[in-house]
């Protein structure tokens, strides 16, 4: 029998449908080997708190694979290298590097390996902890944005696209009935995977992506072109990180010393206002927001998450070095953290799904509308 190990799991960053499936899968795969399994509550915070660890056994993970959220909790402001800490004599937290405490607690608890389930930010933190002496980390790529480099897909993405597509489907009827223009804002940060996939599936007339700076005049011409053809309504899908050519992305909350990146949002309202001015049509905007994160994971996300969790434990058992499990051409394999940490997987603009959408006459706001065929 292989050497008994003691492993620990955590979930960090924004939640995504499928997190509990990974937790269940990794726990069962480890218990099958006779290992001991623990969970860290709320990202890395549990390693800085006296009651921040919880044992994971069969009872703890029974019946959770189909549930959204995460039984371990998560945190967006839990970077141990910039951890919010109230120092003596102060009443407001300041950013303090507490990474050494994380590593000391990890070793004191006798853990052999960490399964870090997170997006690019969480995986970057994991890489930095490895560089500082954490023995072994196997990353599991998680995000609805599908923007983690080194893997073809992340779990959570399929569910988010399904929710966004259903919303666009429902908006078609009311938008057509009132002969309006509807601008739908979806998540994705600086990658447009949700927008282009849901936009194509939902029959959007224009899709605005972070990868393609747009000119609002081009989008307005698309709306007016449809008007001339007797189609008196239009659906525009905008990724939250989309930006006009020569302009800037819309930001709701600026970055600070704890939140390393700003919270994006507002592009739909801005775009709707401009389209109303340029076309004279009644225009509305809607932000889907965290609806895309909530609810049960799709069957595709559950299967992907279960495969990732089992593979992570399998890599530990095989004695593999630190790295991230990834999906490549249908197979789960381990890739170095260097291929994923600190990098963004963007939508290719000259091939793939964007090219397919252009062939259907969908506007991306970067070309004359005479390029498009009738729709």
At the top level of CATH, the class of 6-155+297-339 is alpha beta
**In which residue are the tokens 């029959």 written?**
203
From 187, 225, 186, 223, select the one nearest 206 (Cα to Cα). 223
Of the candidates 15, 79, 120, 145, the residue annotated as catalytic is 145
Q: Which pLDDT value is given to residue 258? A: 66
pTM: 0.93
Q: Is 205 a catalytic residue?
A: no
Contact 261, 229 (CB under 8 A): no
Give residue-wise pLDDT tens across range 52-101: 999 999 999 999 999 999 999 998 778 999 998 888 888 888 889 999 99
Spell out the domain ranges in the chain: 6-155+297-339, 160-294+348-371
Contact 26, 310 (CB under 8 A): yes
Residues with Cβ within 8 Å of 359's Cβ and at least 6 positions away in sequence, in order, are none
Contact 241, 189 (CB under 8 A): yes
* C-alpha triplet 345, 350, 355: angle, nearest 5°: 105
Equal CATH topology for 6-155+297-339 and 160-294+348-371: yes
Give residue-wise pLDDT tens across range 241-282: 999 998 888 887 777 666 667 788 899 999 999 999 999 999
**How far apart, in Å, are the Cα atoms of 269 and each of 247, 288, 355?**
15, 12, 27
Contact 313, 326 (CB under 8 A): no
All residue ranges of the chain with pLDDT < 50 are 1, 369-375
Q: Which pLDDT value is given to residue 115? A: 98
Architecture of the domain defined by 160-294+348-371: 3-Layer(aba) Sandwich (3.40)
Provide the 10 A C-beta neighbour count for residue 254: 9
Cα–Cα dist 194/166, whole Å: 13
């Amino acid at each position: 029998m292989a050497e008994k190990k003691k492993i620990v799991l955590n979930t960090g960053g924004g939640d995504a449908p499928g997190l509990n499936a990974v937790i269940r899968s990794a726990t069962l795969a480890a218990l099958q080997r006779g290992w001991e399994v623990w969970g860290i509550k709320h990202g890395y915070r549990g390693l800085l708190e006296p009651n921040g660890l919880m044992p994971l056994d069969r009872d703890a993970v029974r019946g959770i694979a189909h549930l959204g959220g995460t039984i371990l909790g998560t945190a967006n402001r839990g970077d141990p290298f910039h951890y919010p800490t109230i120092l003596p004599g102060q009443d407001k937290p300041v950013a303090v590097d507490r990474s050494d405490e994380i590593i000391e607690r990890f070793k004191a608890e006798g853990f052999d390996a960490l399964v870090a389930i997170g997006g690019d930010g969480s995986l970057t933190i994991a890489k930095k902890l490895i560089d500082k002496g954490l023995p072994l980390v196997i990353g599991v790529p998680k995000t609805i944005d599908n923007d983690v480099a080194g893997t073809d897909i992340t779990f959570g993405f399929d569910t988010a696209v399904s929710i966004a597509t259903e919303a666009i489907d429902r908006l078609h009827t009311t938008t057509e009935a009132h002969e309006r223009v509807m601008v739908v804002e979806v998540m994705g940060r600086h990658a447009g995977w949700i927008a282009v996939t849901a936009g194509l599936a939902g029959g959007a007339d224009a899709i605005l992506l972070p990868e393609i700076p747009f000119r609002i005049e081009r989008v307005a011409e698309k709306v007016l072109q449809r008007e001339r053809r007797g189609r008196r309504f239009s659906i525009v899908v905008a990724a939250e990180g989309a930006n006009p050519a020569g302009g800037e992305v819309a930001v709701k909350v600026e970055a600070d010393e704890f939140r390393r990146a700003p919270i994006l949002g507002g592009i739909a309202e801005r775009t709707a206002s401009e389209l109303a001015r340029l076309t004279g049509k009644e225009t509305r905007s809607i932000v889907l927001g965290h609806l895309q994160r909530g609810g049960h994971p799709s069957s595709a996300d559950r299967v992907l998450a279960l495969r990732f969790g089992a593979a992570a434990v399998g890599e530990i058992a095989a004695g593999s070095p630190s790295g991230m499990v990834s999906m490549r051409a249908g197979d789960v394999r381990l890739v170095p953290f260097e291929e994923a940490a600190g990098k963004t997987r963007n939508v290719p603009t000259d091939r793939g799904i964007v090219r397919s959408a252009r062939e259907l006459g969908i506007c991306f706001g970067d070309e004359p509308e005479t390029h498009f065929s009738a729709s």
